[in-house]
Amino acid sequence: MFSLDWIYYAISWILLTWHSAWDAIGVPVGAALGTNWSWILAIVFLVVTVRVILFPVFVKQIKSQRAMQALQPKVKELQEKHKGDRETLQKEMMELYRKEKANPLMGCLPMFLQIPVFLGLFHVLRRLDPGKEEKYKTIYGWTVDQFNSASSAKIFTAPIAGKFGSTADELARLGANGTTVKVIAGVLVLMMMGTTYLTSRQMILKTGWAEDPQQRMIQRLMLYGIPLSLLVSGAIFPIGVIIYWVTNNMFTLGQQQWVLRKYPPPPTPGRTGAAASRGPVQPAKKTGGLLGRKAAPSPVKQAPSAPKVAGPKPGAKPVNPKKSGPAKRQG
């Protein structure tokens, strides 16, 4: 059976190393706002460590997305050509991706690589129970003192091992107030949902919606599905894990902003200059007048017409403009 112990040891080592570093610097423990900042900063810098390691993969993700975006016209041609023949369409598209060295799965690779880190931290923090026997406190390279310190670590008086759905017995062992834990965990879950939505929205606003229906479905799942699912799953996450998630999302927002400036989206066909650099065209919204009524069309200005020249009066003799001088009198 495949064991995940190596992940738990790796996460524990990074977490404990950063905690020891902040302790050596002299970060206050529980002195400010009821928070053990050395453990909170250890979780934050666990994110920094992982993101620095995965940065080359993140750059490859952006480049792959640019390649996929540049291939959209060819993909649309294949969809029109093989309309109704899904099997042939899939083969032709895979051949196109292979030929152009574009990988549709690369866009999700950084997220998949972070899943083991998330699961490892979830497992490590979930076992922070002061009621455990001594032999269970020293696994994954922890000492008893480190385990007890982490078990009592708090953020705004809520233990990092607590969660929104903690039972009364778990809260009693952690020495925590149930209302405080629910408030802190609830606020963090909302922040987790909001920042998860913003990271997906930031990318879509810069790159545009995909033409391929499957890619568009993945974009919608990332934008709406995952944040909504966190509303339920967030209740079982320890507070420390939610801190990791929120920090990771904030790091992603900054990293994406930098990478998107360095590797801007390719210009959309038919748009040049400053218009192309502003990103994908958004569909125009219909605007109405007051109370939803359609605004009256603005009057069209007409070109000024030439001044009218008054014609001769009825019965008058026509005037010959070629004649000059006074008329001769007849004798």
Residues 237, 243, 248, 251: what is their CA dihedral angle, to the nearest 10 degrees? 160
DSSP string, 120-168: HHHHHHHT--TTS-HHHHTGGG--HHHHHHHHT-EETTEETT--TT--H
pLDDT at 178: 94
* Distance from the first to the final alpha carbon of the chain: 138
Is the pLDDT assigned to residue 331 strictly greater than 50?
no
C-alpha to C-alpha distances, 262 to 18, 59, 111, 237, nearest whole angstrom? 31, 10, 21, 35
The three-state secondary structure class of 4 is coil
Is the pLDDT assigned to residue 140 strictly greater than 80?
yes
Of all residues in the chain, the percent with pLDDT exceeding 70 is 75
pLDDT at 72: 77
Is the pLDDT assigned to residue 65 strictly greater than 60?
yes
Amino acid type, 113: L
How much is the average pLDDT of 49-57?
89
Q: Sorting pLDDT into bands at 50, 70 and 90, what band is 75?
A: confident
Q: Can you give the pTM of this predicted structure? A: 0.72
In the structure encoding, which two tokens stand for residue 193, read together? 């949902």
Give the span between the Cα atoms of 312 and 138, in whole angstroms. 116
Is the pLDDT assigned to residue 293 strictly greater than 70?
no
DSSP string, 240-256: HHHHHHHHHHHHHHHHH
Buried b (16+ CB within 10 A) or exposed e, 200-219: beebbebbbebebeebeebb
pLDDT at 17: 96
pLDDT at 9: 96
Is the pLDDT assigned to residue 287 strictly greater than 70?
no
Is the pLDDT assigned to residue 205 strictly greater than 60?
yes
Render pLDDT for 85-123 as a digit per residue (tens, 0 to 9).
888 888 888 888 888 777 766 666 777 888 899 999 999
**Across-strand partners of 189?**
none
For 35-93, give the secondary structure using H, E and C. Answer: EEHHHHHHHHHHHHHHHHHHHHHHHHHHHHHHHHHHCHHHHHHHHHHCCCCHHHHHHHH
Mean pLDDT lowest among 136-145, 179-188, 274-283: 274-283
